[in-house]
Amino acid sequence: MRESTGGTRERIKAVALELFTEQGYEKTSLREIAERLDVTKAALYYHFKSKDEIVTSFVEDRLELIDELIAWAEAQPPTLETRRALIARYADAMFTSEQPSVMRFFEQNQTVLKSLSAGQQMRGRLMKLAEALFRGDDSPSAQLRATLSLFAVHTSWFAVRTPHISDEERRRIALEVADELLAPIGQPAGPAR
Alpha carbons 109 and 161: distance in angstroms, whole number: 19
CB under 8 Å to 153, separation ≥6 — which residues?
87, 90, 91, 94, 174, 175, 178
Alpha carbons 191 and 193: distance in angstroms, whole number: 6
Full-model pTM: 0.82
- Residue 4 vs residues 41, 72, 97, 123, 151: alpha-carbon distances, Å: 18, 31, 21, 32, 36
Per-residue pLDDT at 33: 95
pLDDT above 70 for 8: yes
Long-range pairs of 65-70 with CB within 8 A, sequence gap ≥ 24: 65/93, 66/125, 66/126, 66/128, 66/129, 67/125, 69/93, 69/129, 69/132, 70/125, 70/128, 70/129, 70/132
pLDDT tens for 93-130 read: 887 755 567 777 777 777 777 788 888 888 899 999 99
Residue 94 identity (one-letter amino acid): M
> Average model confidence (pLDDT) for the chain?
88
Q: Is 82 exposed, middle or buried (0-12, 13-18, 19+ CB in 10 A)?
A: buried
Delineate the domains of the chain, giving CATH numbers in brackets: 1-49 (1.10.10.60), 51-182 (1.10.357)
pLDDT tens for 144-159 read: 999 999 999 988 877 8
Alpha carbons 35 and 31: distance in angstroms, whole number: 6
Closest to 25 (Cα-Cα) out of 119, 113, 155, 121: 113
Alpha carbons 154 and 150: distance in angstroms, whole number: 7
